[in-house]
Amino acid sequence: MLLTELKPLEQILQYLDGERAVFLVGCKGCAEGCETGGEPQVMEMRQKLQEAGKIVTGYSLIDTVCNQSLTALKLKAHEAEITSSDSLLVMCCGVGVQTTSAVVDRVVHPACNTISLGGAHAEWKDGGHCLECGDCILDFTGGICPIARCAKHLLNGPCGGSQKGRCEISPELPCAWQLISDRLTKLGRLENLEKIVAPKNWSVSLISGPPAKR
Ligand code: SF4
Ligand code: SF4
């Protein structure tokens, strides 16, 4: 089980700044157990966002958002609501945010910080890309995690060693920052890369050393 905590509402509203409509995704797996993404929390979030002037086009509660096939299937049933939304707000672990991002062509915002593995890892076998850093930055990186997927955990990438979209540590590995760049281009948010990201607060992270899994 991945342990999560909700980000402050102020931070979530900053993510949604300039956006009119949002679709909510909750998780009936770990996030429900953590009381961060179950039905009561999704309903509460819907109310708070509406009070803040946002249109909540709909919501979906998925058994395990980290299961990419299941998430794709469930969100397909909400295609019209998602198409009419500027973005999705995903209330679960970093893996679930990334599976959602992988199956919809919309901006995906994380509502939670993943703070601990707390047990078996999530369902996304091919991905599995969260290192429980405690301060999720997927909003900035287009739903692709540089903490888990860049060999240097870079927050401002790429490093300069990337060649033809591959990581300098192995031609078999994609450069995470190339993936991020491609994704942000697709979302029309490439300007994100013009910002210099401040050093991360690693004291809330459980990880150290190079990533074992990419
Ligand atoms: S930024 Fe990456 S490692 Fe940190 S919580 Fe998000 S997905 Fe996990
Ligand atoms: S080549 Fe890309 S993935 Fe590899 S260390 Fe550099 S920025 Fe990170």
Successive 10-residue mean pLDDT values, the chain, 214 residues? 92 97 96 94 98 98 94 97 98 95 96 81 66 91 93 92 94 94 95 89 69 46
112 and 169, same domain (yes or no): no
* Any domain includes 211: no
Q: Which of 93, 112, 139 is the last residue of a domain?
A: 139
Q: Is the CB of 122 under 6 A from ligand 1?
A: no
| Per-position DSSP letters for 64-129, written without gaps between them | -TT-HHHHHHHHHTTHHHHHT-SEEEEES-HHHHHHHHHH-SSEEEE-EEEEE--SS--S-SS---
In order of 14, 63, 109, 120, 186, the CA distances from 180 in angstroms are 21, 27, 15, 27, 10
70 lies in the same domain as 146: no
For residue 214, being part of any structural domain is answered with no
Q: Which of 139, 163, 192 is the last residue of a domain?
A: 139
| Same-domain check for residues 165 and 95 | no
Q: Is residue 208 part of a domain?
A: no
CA-closest residue to ligand 2 atom 7: 158
What burial class does residue 96 get, using C-beta atoms within 10 Å of its C-beta: 0-12 exposed, 13-18 middle, 19+ buried? Answer: buried
pLDDT of amino acid 200: 82
Residue 7's domain comprises 1-139
Ligand 2 atom 8: residue of nearest CA: 150
Q: Single out the residue in 139, 172, 194 at which a domain terminates.
A: 139
For the CA of 141, the nearest ligand: 1
Does the C-beta of 114 come closer than 6 Å to ligand 1?
yes
For residue 212, being part of any structural domain is answered with no
The H or E element spanning position 49 is helix 39-51
Query: Would the pTM count as exceeding 0.75?
Result: yes
Prior bond of 158 cis (ω within 30°): yes
d(CA 108, CA 89): 6
142 CB under 6 A from ligand 1? no
What does the pLDDT read at residue 119? 65
47 shares a domain with 2: yes
Q: Is the CB of 96 under 6 A from ligand 1?
A: no
